[in-house]
A and B are shown apart, each in its own frame.
Chain A
Amino acid sequence: MGIATNAGQPGIAASVALEFAKARRKHLWLASLGLLAFQFAWLVAGASNTVRHNPDFDGILYMLPQLNAIVLPLLCAIVASTVTDVENRANMWKLLLTMEDARRVVAAKWAACLLILAVVVGVQTAGVAAVAYGIGFQQNLPGPALLARYALSTFVVCAMLITIVQAVCLATANQFAPMIVGVGLCFLGLFIAYLPPVFSWFVPSAYFFVCRLVDGAYDASQHMRFWAAPFPAAGLAVCVAVTVAAFIASRRAFAAREL
């Protein structure tokens, strides 16, 4: 056993890899893919019904944010709380922060969560493409550009949610708190659809609606009509701003905390 002589902390990539090592046996991937499978099953069931009387895939892209607003906040809460709470359960902060800078640990955990979410969004986008091309839709099939825009907007909203939940995790050692936030966001995202659109700007999980790529409304004959929405630059900008602000504030607060 040699004297510890490494020049500094591990690099950020190594720190992120360590977060995955710590999350071993926490079944993070299983939980993420399980929720995704549940959402996919729901999507397939809905799409199979829809395609019989309306072969326009825009209807599915219009419906997807609603599914995301229900499932993804919960998934974000599970991922962020698992990755962060692992230190609380292990009474590890007191040791960890003698070896690694607090800001580095927070950044590594955040990056690990984002990586998981990136994979989840990627798999979900692939699932959406499979539904579009596999179930028999004829109109407005999504091309690579639209799928990329969908993946980007979904990921940016997820990043905001995960940053908020992580901030809660870092502020409290109780894993119950982030789960409450996750479930709360999930319900808010579900019911915000019944309120005027302006309310969506004040609920993080409702940004799946704010950033939707297809809009729709009932026409005079009470049929839903869909159209491509403009790129949700304002909504995404708000998400990015909230994400950056929440990340910086929570990281600063955590680094200043005494153990």
Chain B
Amino acid sequence: MTSQVLERPAGTVEGAPAPAASGESLAVSTRGLTKRYGDATVVDDMDLEVPEGAVYGFLGPNGAGKSTTMKMLLGLVHASGGEAVVLGREMTPDNRLEVLREVGSLIEAPSCYPHLTARENLEIVRRLRGLPESCIDEALSVVRLDDAKTQGKLVGHFSLGMKQRLGIAVALMGRPRLLLLDEPTNGLDPSGIHEIRQLIREMPERFGCTVVVSSHLLSEIDQMADYVGIINKGRMVWQGSMADLHARARRWLALRTTDNAAAAGVLPGTVADGEWLRIKAVDDATAGQVTLGLARRGIGVVRLEERSESLEDIFLKLTGMEATL
């Protein structure tokens, strides 16, 4: 399977700059990015294209190479081959830190000193990045860690959700143009997941940044991202807008009648599916004619539903994991 090149700006966040077809509107692009450990190829010839101002979901099963790819973008892992252009500049060991000054990240687990308070943690990052002190208050307020009770608490006493929020605050310090968030909802309870998801969703509009968020959960990416790259065994198997991914879903009409056998004889191309009959998806007018035609023959329509392949089905097909599940 080959990756599909992004074609259109549809699905970008409202208010965020729409990506054009040329490379200049991409916040991140890689060509042939590869990582090998001995004989094992962890990331294989990856062509990643992240439109500026979008939330880009990086989706794949555990061990697919998502974290390694993100670490290569941050220079924490050295690529065995290929190139990466981040915010318009090709990343090299020499300019890495300069490019990363406009990149915030949260990789695998939140990075924070447990023996310090949230503010003290942010103060260290602020000093490292040479940012004004006001950044701390803003970052704390964005992730709602600015109440008096929390401010006096050491991070070691934080819940996982609070640590995750602090990790995002650290990443957001200085309003970076690009945020790389690796499984930011890992280990969170449903309300924590919802909260982080909302926050990520709002980021492009609120802070004018591009977000690359990885996850192995399709539903999560579906709810957050405008674009998606599906990776499996180190290879990009599909890349495009979420709208395009949804459009790939096969659709059909599911029909239950008072006499399915007779209905099947009347309707061409019908496939039996348990108590249901499947016919190909048609427009409303044709669907009306189908029901009228059946009624004229004395066959009552009990149920008529439009159904489609779930994103999960598409994902499993793309990653070739259907057979294993």
A interface residues, Cβ below 8 angstroms from B:
1-6, 8-10, 14, 18, 21-22, 24-26, 86, 89-92, 94-101, 258-259
Contacts and interface: CB of A to CB of B under 8 A. Distances in A.
Contacts of A90: 111-114
A87 B100 CA distance: 20
B289 to A, nearest CB: 60
Contacts of B139: 1
A87 to B, nearest CB: 9
A22 B175 contact: no
Contact of A99 (B109, B116, B123, B125): B125
25 contacts: A1-B172, A2-B135, A3-B175, A3-B177, A4-B102, A4-B130, A4-B175, A4-B176, A9-B97, A9-B128, A21-B123, A22-B113, A24-B116, A25-B154, A89-B113, A91-B112, A92-B112, A94-B71, A94-B76, A94-B105, A95-B125, A98-B76, A98-B105, A99-B101, A258-B78
A208 B38 CA distance: 45
A89 B138 CA distance: 26
A92 B113 contact: yes
A86 B132 contact: no
A21 B110 CA distance: 19
Specify the main secondary structure of chain A where it touches its partner.
loop
Q: Which of B109, B124, B175 has the most CB of A within 10 A?
A: B124
Contacts, number: 115
Given A1-B173, A4-B130, A21 B74 contact: no
B111 A94 contact: yes
Given A90-B114, A98-B105, 5 more contacts: A9-B97, A86-B115, A95-B170, A97-B76, A98-B74
B28 interface: no
A91 B109 contact: yes
A71 B156 CA distance: 31
Q: Which of A9, A21, A90, A92 has the most CB of B within 10 A?
A: A90
Interface in B112-151: 112-116, 120, 123-125, 127-132, 134-135, 138-139
B282 interface: no
Contacts of B129: 4, 6, 99
B174 interface: yes
In the A-B complex, the 7 residue pairs with the smallest Cβ-Cβ separation, listed nearest first, are: A6-B130, A4-B174, A95-B111, A1-B138, A90-B113, A1-B135, A259-B76
A6 B101 contact: yes
A235 to B, nearest CB: 38
B175 A99 contact: no
Contacts of A18: 124, 127-128
Contacts of A26: 115
Contacts of A9: 97, 128
Q: Which of B103, B106, B108, B129 has the most CB of A within 10 A?
A: B129
Nearest to A19: B124
Contacts of B262: none
